[in-house]
Structure 1
Amino acid sequence: MRLICPNCDAQYEVVDDVIPAEGRDVQCSNCGQTWFQHHPDHVPEESEAEDAPADLPPTDDTPAEDEERAEAPEPKRRELDPSIADILRQEAEIESQARASEAEALESQPELGLDSAETDGDRRAREARERMARMRGEETAPEKVSETAATAAAIGSRRDLLPDIEEINSTLRSTGDRQSASASDTAVETEEAAQARSGFRRGFMLMVLLAVVLLVVYVFAPDIARAVPQVDPFLSSYVAQIDSARLWLDGQVAAGLTWMDNLTASDGE
């Protein structure tokens, strides 16, 4: 048979055994609306009930019959069983929590791709089967409690599958600190190397400049002595030392050339 919600027009296909012959209260899992559902074989025909008095022959109502009709209580609307109401309320709360958790997970991690999450159709089918089983009275109170705990555990497990934002942030911060420290060390080493090269360059240029100055003083020593007689003794001593150094260097070069000539001659023999 088909159940149709009078509030949101949601339709549910269930077996006829779910609804007893005297009917029962059912609740829409979509909007939470509760109504009394008659068995398909015992649906009251309102039109026949309304037309029945017109077909009856007129009778004289006696005072006793009027008194009996006056004393007859009006039929009360069937009240919902408190246990069923509690079950339906728990189902609505669990379903709303599950939907909120799934919506939050999809908004925060749209590309996570959780394989264990059920599709919307599978979840609705499972909930419909469980609801029909509860209506048949196949489950006991401990099983209902265990089902609630299992649903809460499943929601918690799906939440645990999501990455910890604080852990990711701390990892990124530590990685950034290491990169900053490495960049700082590299910059310091580069600066030290540049300073060392600059110091070597300055020292080399200073030695070249000193050699050029000494050479200029040696070459122009007579002119400087005539221009500044006071420095003539120093210039004479400096020129004499340079001359002796030249003679020593000339002797060393001549000795080296002679040794090379002798070595070449011995190899030729």
Structure 2
Amino acid sequence: MRATRAFDRLVNAPKRQGNIMRLICPNCGAQYEVPTEVIPTEGRDVQCSACSNTWFQAHPDHDTALADEVDRPSVEPVAPPPEPEPQPEMPALERRALDPNVSDVLRQEAEFEANARAAEHGGALESQPELGLEGQREDEGERRAREARERMARMRGEPVPAEVAVAAVTATAGSRRDLLPDIEEINSTLRSSGERRRPAEATDADLPGTTPKVRRKGQGFRRGFFGMMLLAVLAIGAYVFGPKISEMVPAAEPIVAQYSAGIESARSWLGSSVERGLGWLDQMASENL
């Protein structure tokens, strides 16, 4: 009943918009808009012009009953947010242990290789420690055994032992020493090369065990030059001694005569060419002057 009365009062309550308030007749529902100044703060009686119904209208700022019953804000309780579900914990990954059969095979293989290398080389070779590293230089068998132990430790997830790490450093230093050239070997090679070159560069041919160096540079040019000189001497000799050759060898007389005629024609052509060249030079010199 109280809720129904409150609802009726809420429906028929005046509506205020700025300085204008709206009155609603509780009998016929007629609506009127009047200034708020016409309603005093203590309220007053108003009458509907449509149905002549009269009711008491309180000032909108002092309608405490309506505010207590209806205008009370209905705040619904807000449910708290659900707590996040805890994530399931991931089980720790178990380290897989190495199969005993595999470890036995690897160990036997390493021991077999170490024994084979030791038998081939007659035991481990001692070497002088360098760079502050103590211990003996490991051979091929020990190196392979060490590598097998390192592989087994890595497969098991165990840290590498300190002695294995020291052996690896020593092996690395030894391998680096092998990469460096031997100074004594280089010096002996240089001395041997110098001794081999010394006899070829010696100038004294009377020294025992030495061989004079044969210089072949320009040998082809000398051969060609001397060959041309020999042909020129033979050609001139055949022209000069042509009559004697004809007397000594009568069968060669036609050939010698033809050769002599060719030489004479060549001489006359060369003489005329030289004369023409000299005349042309004289003419050019006179024109320039």
Structure with more of its chain in helix, by fraction: 1
Q: TM-score range by the shorter chain?
A: 0.3 to 0.5
TM-score relative to the length of structure 2: 0.33
TM-score, with structure 1 as normaliser: 0.35
The structure whose RCO (Cα within 8 Å, separation 6+) is larger is 1
